[in-house]
Amino acid sequence: MRFLLLRPEKIVLSDSEDNADDYDPGARRLFAEEWGISPDSLHLKAALTHSSAAPNVTESGERLEFLGDALLSAYVARYLISHLPVTVGEDTLSRARVQVVRKETLAVAGRELGISRMIAIGPGERKEGRHKNDSLLADAYEALLAVICLECGDSALSVFIDATLGFALSAVVQNPPEPDPKTLLQMKLQATGHGLPVYETVEATGRGHEHNFVVVVRDAETTELGHGEGPNKRAAQMQAAKMALLHLNGSQTRLNENSP
């Protein structure tokens, strides 16, 4: 593939303008040529049409996103089973799959493919920068997976995923993920009889694609354990869980030090 050069940590575009924001029909044609898709494909047109620019749902990428999500999940699961040691358990496999298919990872691939220049989106949404939003890019990437499968077949889909998500697949095989802070906090609270953690968003600021969320986490007895902030709720919850773990581990250390 001419314009995709793989490196272990990311994909590099060799002859596209990564920072261009304007809709460019030529970019869509180039993509179609590179991957053997007819530029007049109705599947491709739908995949790269946001609901804000579609007369109805059948002319947007929403149904294709559904298929692409399922195809990607199955491919990543098969890849992990083939490339990780047989001693790796289901929990680690599940975390590894989530790490690859989460929207932030797919958005990286979508951004490097230049989806923001290929996708048709309402003028208001483009003005607000929605075409660069992680969720939109991830959804469009999944829709493109469905297009590749329907237009070119399973073998082409495998090539496409390896080319565009190879960096994430390689990284997760080299370093299988440990439990994230939210999972560790839940395990710790349940093990000590404090129930499930409860996350509350106490502040949300920003507009367009620039946001900041503040989240507080409490145990089942409503005792505040920590707070965190981030550009989305997930990141803020992760930070809150991390602070809660530091608080709980510090309390346990002090308790052990004061024990006779």
The residue annotated as part of the active site, out of 69, 112, 125, 219, is 69
What is the dihedral angle through the alpha carbons of 253, 255, 258, 260, rounded to the nearest 10 degrees? Answer: -110
Q: How far apart are CA 15 and CA 239, in angstroms?
A: 38
Q: Which two tokens stand for residue 189?
A: 């609270």
Q: How far apart are CA 246 and CA 128, in angstroms?
A: 38
Residue 224 known to be catalytic: no
Any idea what DSSP says for residue 120? Answer: B
What letter represents residue 42's amino acid? L
Residue 69 known to be catalytic: yes
Q: How far apart are CA 38 and CA 24, in angstroms?
A: 17
Q: What angle do CA 193, 91, 80 make, to 5 degrees?
A: 170
The residue annotated as part of the active site, out of 65, 134, 139, 142, is 142
Any idea what DSSP says for residue 36? Answer: T
* Residues forming the active site: 69, 142
